[in-house]
Each structure stands twice: as C-alpha cells, then as structure tokens.
C-alpha cells in the first residue's frame, strides 16, 4: 500500500493507551492554526488492541481530511516514522508529530517547510537541546552510556515535531528501534539523526513561531525550548509543558540539563 502526498506529508502519531483526548488537542490546534503549506495529513494509529472501538478517535478525525494507517505492532515512534517514508513514496518532505504535539501558531508548517527548503539545510524541528544522556546519567551508569552518547554539549533536534526530505531520510542510518534506549540513541546518540545530518555538512535548524531558523549556536536564545519562557515555541509537547508548569527550582534544573550551567 502506498499513499500519495504532494509536497509535504504531515504524519501524526496516535497512541491508543492515552485515549482520544490528546488527538482532540492536536486536531483542535491543527484546525485553529492554519498550516500555511500544502500537505496531506496521515494519521498513524498505534497500540490499538484487536476489537478496540475506534469510534471516539474517528469522531475527532471526522473534522479533518486525512488518511489513516495502522502502525506495525511493537514499533517505537521513530521506527514508525521511518516506515512512513516507505509508505508515502510520492512525498518530497515529511513532518512528524507525536501524540503529545500541539500546534501553537499560524503558518507553523510553512515555517518548517520554508526553512527545510533553504539550500544547505537537512533537518528542521520545533525544538532542540544540547542535553546528553551520558552527562546527565548517574556516575554508575556513565560507563555504559559513554559508548553511545556524546558528552554535553550534544546538539539534537527533538522528535516531537521535526521535518526532513524523503531523499535524505532514505540515506540516513535509521534502523527501527527495538528498545527505548535505541530510540534515545537515534534521537540524541553519537549516530543520531541530527549528528548524521551535521556530518553530511548540512544544517539542523530549530524553527520558531517567528519563522526564523536558528542554528545550534542560537538554539538557547531562540526562546523555544526551556528558555525565554518558550515564547517563540512553534509546537508544544509533554516536555515543553513540563517546563511551562514547573516551579523556579525545577525550571533551573531543566534549563541546566538542556543548556548547561549559566554563567
């Protein structure tokens, strides 16, 4: 089976155990904030047990034009995304969002799409971080993680909302993660999607609601993830919500994990 999609294919992942409420939040935000770019919405249903009544989810989806596809059983998010590259063979670009993603601004997909199409750019996302799973690990775990994760600063585009071309996606070493640790490696390890893009001499940009694409050295100042009250954030998710709702002490810890100790 293949799905036709001109230009950009917007892939949204639905995780059944969370119920229909997260999908409702995403669809409400999708309808409230015009994407601003031609695309086809592909909704990937994941974690639905045989016999599950999908009526509540399909009621939510009835408000938008979309294609629906069932994810392979047992796949993690990044593996499911990679399989969508094979499924949607006519798309030029893909934008991936997960169950906790919520759109925050008009023109959000156009902002991502325009920056991605800039010469020399290979990867764009709504948020990025310098966090290292090695550096934040307790001492007893560091030796085990040293092989797979670079130390801080470790630039990585977060995978709650990111986009890349089909051509590049097919060239990357992108094996389907079998465990959560495998997914962490693919997002922020030494052979992460971001690191592979940078190694090819391409840029990885964080895109704000202002439409600007920020290179890694400007991520902290972009006010998108754990900085500047996240006032420039384009797509929210569970981690950005955690920061927004945190008290001063927790905020400082989260900022330090993402950006290091302040001067």
**Confidence band, pLDDT 50/70/90 cuts, at residue 5:** low
Q: Is the pLDDT of residue 152 over 60?
A: yes
**Confidence band, pLDDT 50/70/90 cuts, at residue 1:** very low
In a domain, 78, yes or no: yes
In a domain, 2, yes or no: no
Q: What is the CATH number of the domain that holds 114?
A: 3.90.550
Q: How far apart are CA 197 and CA 234, in angstroms?
A: 22
Provide mean pLDDT across the span 43-71.
Answer: 96
Q: Which of 2-6, 51-55, 66-70, 176-180 is predicted with the least confidence, judged by mean pLDDT?
A: 2-6
In a domain, 3, yes or no: no
List CB contacts of 4: < 8 A, sequence separation 6 or more.
Answer: 40, 88, 90
Give the pLDDT confidence score for residue 3 in this predicted structure.
Answer: 46
Dihedral-angle region of residue 166 (phi above 0 means left; psi in -120 to 50 means alpha; beta otherwise): alpha
Count of domains forming the chain? 1
In a domain, 154, yes or no: yes
Q: How far apart are CA 136 and CA 167, in angstroms?
A: 34
Mapped onto helix, strand or coil, the DSSP state of residue 40 is strand
In a domain, 45, yes or no: yes
Provide mean pLDDT across the span 134-148.
Answer: 90
Residue 124 in contact with residue 115, Cβ under 8 Å?
yes
Range of the domain at 162: 8-259
In a domain, 75, yes or no: yes
Q: How far apart are CA 148 and CA 195, in angstroms?
A: 12
Provide mean pLDDT across the span 29-41.
Answer: 96
Residue 132 in contact with residue 188, Cβ under 8 Å?
yes
Start-end of H helices in 19-155: 21-32, 55-61, 77-87, 108-116, 139-146
Read off the pTM: 0.94
In a domain, 1, yes or no: no
Provide mean pLDDT across the span 215-232.
Answer: 98
In a domain, 90, yes or no: yes
Select from 120, 210, 133, 213 the least CA-distant residue to 168. 120
């Amino acid at each position: 089976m293949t799905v036709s999609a001109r230009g950009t294919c917007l892939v949204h992942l639905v995780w059944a155990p969370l119920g229909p409420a997260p999908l409702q939040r995403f669809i409400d935000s999708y309808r409230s904030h015009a994407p601003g770019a031609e695309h086809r919405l592909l909704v990937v249903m994941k974690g639905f047990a045989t016999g599950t009544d999908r009526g509540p989810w399909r009621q939510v989806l009835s408000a938008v034009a979309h294609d629906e596809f069932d994810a392979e059983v047992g796949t993690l998010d990044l593996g499911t995304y990679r399989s969508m590259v094979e499924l949607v063979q006519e798309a030029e670009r893909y934008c991936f969002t997960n169950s906790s993603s919520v759109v925050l601004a008009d023109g959000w997909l156009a902002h991502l799409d325009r920056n991605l199409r800039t010469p020399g750019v290979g990867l764009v996302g709504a948020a990025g971080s310098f966090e290292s799973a090695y550096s934040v690990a307790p001492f007893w775990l560091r030796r085990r993680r040293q092989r797979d994760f670079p130390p801080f600063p470790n630039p990585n585009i977060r995978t709650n909302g990111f986009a890349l071309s089909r051509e590049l996606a097919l060239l990357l070493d992108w094996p389907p993660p079998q465990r959560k640790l495998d997914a962490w490696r693919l997002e922020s390890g030494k052979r992460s999607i971001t690191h592979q893009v940078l190694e090819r001499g391409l840029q990885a940009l964080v895109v704000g609601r202002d439409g600007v694409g920020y290179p890694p050295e400007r991520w902290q100042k972009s006010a998108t993830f754990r900085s500047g009250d996240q006032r420039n954030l384009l797509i929210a998710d569970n981690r950005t919500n955690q920061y927004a709702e945190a008290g001063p002490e927790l905020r400082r810890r989260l900022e330090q994990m993402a950006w290091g100790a302040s001067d």
